[in-house]
Structure 1
Amino acid sequence: MEEFYRGFAQRARDLAEKADPFTRRRLLDLAKTYDVKSRPPGSARPLPPRTTSPSTLFSGAGEA
């Protein structure tokens, strides 16, 4: 099943090369969706590291 979605993603990219800007963006977004589906379960990308801690986000003087 992964190969099926990988093929669809590549076809969307191939079509995007010849498309107008609006359609190109939509096709590339579609290709990203197929890329995610082509990954085996459990191989999700890890979240990026947090740059600020939650306590610093709300440590300023609050407005009431």
Structure 2
Amino acid sequence: MEQEFYRGLAQRVRDLAGKADPFTRRRLLDLAKRYDARSGTSRSGAAERPLPVPRNTPPASSFSESGEA
């Protein structure tokens, strides 16, 4: 029963990590790994898919070359 509890917490934390900024995401995924260890299940790093990095700037092709504003 305790194993299921920690497994559920780990999944919930991973779901939150999917919506978080990169710093918080890394910390949440570390927390999920600790919950997995407590539940007796171990997820390998190779099985996890890294989340894409959010874009903060538009692509370079959208900037004008002539310096016009």
User: TM-score with structure 1 length normalisation?
Assistant: 0.61
CA distance in 1, matches of 2:13, 2:26: 10
Partner residue, 2:16 = 15
Where does 1:12-51 land on structure 2 (aligned, <5 Å)?
A: 12-39=13-40
Structure 1: segments with no counterpart, 5+ residues: 45-64
Secondary structure at the residue paired with 2:19? coil
The number of residues matched between the two structures is 41
Residue 3 (structure 1) aligns with: 4
Q: Provide the alpha-carbon RMSD of the alignment.
A: 1.7
Q: Which has the higher contact order (CA 8 A, sep 6+)?
A: 1
Give the share of equivalent positions with the same residue, in percent: 73
Instruction: Tell me which protein shows more helix as a share of its residues.
Output: 1
Cα distance between partner residues in 2 of 1:29 and 1:39: 16
TM-score using structure 2 length: 0.56
The whole-number CA distance in structure 1 between the counterparts of 2:23 and 2:4 is: 27
Q: Which runs of 5+ in 2 are unaligned?
A: 43-69
Write the letter of the residue equivalent to 1:7: G
Partner Cα distance (1:10, 1:33) in 2: 12
